[in-house]
Amino acid sequence: MSCTRPTGARRAPAGVRAAGLAAFLGGAVLSASPALALDKVTFGTNWLADPEAGGFYQAVVDGTYAKYGLDVTIMPGGPQTNGGMLLVAGKIEFFMGGDMLGDFLGVERNVPTIPVAADFQKNPQIMMSHPGVGLDKWTDLPKATAYISQGGVTSFYAWMRTAWGFKDENVKPYTFNSAPFIADKHSIQQGYITSEPFEVEKQGGFKPNIFLLADYGYSSYSTLIETRRDLVEKNPDLVQRFVDASAIGWYHYLYGDNKKANEAIKKDNPEMNDEQIAYSIGKLKEYGIVDSGDTLKLGIGAMDEARIKDFFDKMVKAGLVKSDTDYKKAYTTQFVNKGVGVELRPK
């Protein structure tokens, strides 16, 4: 289970908004009928409020969660919070995980959590390079100085070494500041497709080359909806309603009127602005981060067992996961692949 975005691939903001926790409720499942009280649940995100959590905010503000009998509180994360631990402790019901490497490691450590949906079909992790200096192709990048966070070194960069020949000696620390990358034209830097390129364009005055790791074999799902195994066993209806409503929230956020959701995001994170939001949503659509591949028929949140096995094998080869780990315990497809919301995609 990933307690934060696994690579730390976001610039650290000035502060973190405090948020209250809802107590774990469990117990009897209530009907979605408005005549009955809604089931109160808290969903913890793994970073400050941003469009990467837009579908969840959308489902709150447009009443989708309420239609599914849920009263959802979104608890924003940040560099000083650990929503994954709050999930384990029973303080929250759902958490926005990173990619599946954390879940494989969670199985090894007997962490009692499990992803129940993959709301990002592609990991937004990227590498960036300067254009026109001999770093315009993916195969050019292993020769460059690489600004990588500590979390990145022990996750996706380990895969880059074994799969593509990137070298440890080229690594310099990425401290969530793109200034060193901007100054060094022969360097590359990690980032998220939705944020760091925007920052570089603003600060550096140029558009960097963007290489989405998913396009080169880093096949993990991302933005996983995580919950506890006991909640899956004791209250599967609650889990199903949250997964379904979240998927519909994403359809509405990507293809409908998302103004109120964006206002809620800015309220929770005043550093977020309309230009950054528009950029992020544009990249989510352009690169098919949320809605592509299997989701076209199976619905947002889809998970494919063969693809999970493929990523597991890559993580074993990279030396990050033990080969005898029971990777099948790292996920469940019980709540997805049912086509929920596919009719909401524009024709």
Instruction: With a cut of 50, say whether residue 53 has pLDDT above it.
Output: yes
The pair of three-digit structure tokens given for residue 62, joined into one six-digit string: 């447009």
pLDDT at residue number 30? 35
Q: Kindly provide the b/e burial profile for residues 269-303, where b requires at least 16 CB atoms within 10 angstroms of the residue's own CB.
A: beebeeebbebbbebbeebbbbbbebbeebbbbbb
Instruction: With a cut of 60, say whether residue 295 has pLDDT above it.
Output: yes
Residue type, 93: E
| Closest to 20 measured CA to CA, from 59, 76, 85, 95 | 76
Between residues 315 and 29, the one the model is more confident about: 315
pTM for the structure as a whole:
0.90
> Which domains are delineated in the chain?
39-123+220-344 (3.40.190.10), 125-216 (3.40.190)
User: What mean pLDDT is reported for the chain?
Assistant: 91
In the predicted model, what is the mean pLDDT of residues 266-281? 98
DSSP secondary structure letters along 290-313: SS-TTHHHH-TB---HHHHHHHHH
pLDDT band at 79 (very low <50, low <70, confident <90, very high): confident
**Distance between CA 200 and CA 207 in Å, rounded?**
7
pLDDT band at 20 (very low <50, low <70, confident <90, very high): very low
In tens, the pLDDT along 138-191 reads 999 999 999 999 999 999 999 999 999 999 999 999 998 999 999 999 999 999
Pairing relationship of beta strands 145-148 and 187-192 according to DSSP bridges:
parallel
Task: Could you list the beta-strand ranges (E) of the chain.
Answer: 39-44, 70-75, 94-96, 113-120, 125-129, 145-148, 171-173, 187-192, 209-212, 222-228
Are the C-beta atoms of residues 87 and 35 closer than 8 Å to each other?
Answer: no
pLDDT at residue number 73? 98
In tens, the pLDDT along 193-235 reads 999 999 999 999 999 999 999 999 999 999 999 999 999 999 9
Three-class DSSP category at 48? coil
Instruction: With a cut of 90, say whether residue 21 has pLDDT above it.
Output: no
Residue type, 63: G
Provide, rounded to the nearest whole percent, the portion of the chain with pLDDT above 90. 87
Are the C-beta atoms of residues 319 and 243 closer than 8 Å to each other?
Answer: no
Three-class DSSP category at 289? coil
Instruction: With a cut of 60, say whether residue 4 has pLDDT above it.
Output: no
**Distance between CA 156 and CA 7 in Å, rounded?**
8
Provide, rounded to the nearest whole percent, the portion of the chain with pLDDT above 70. 90
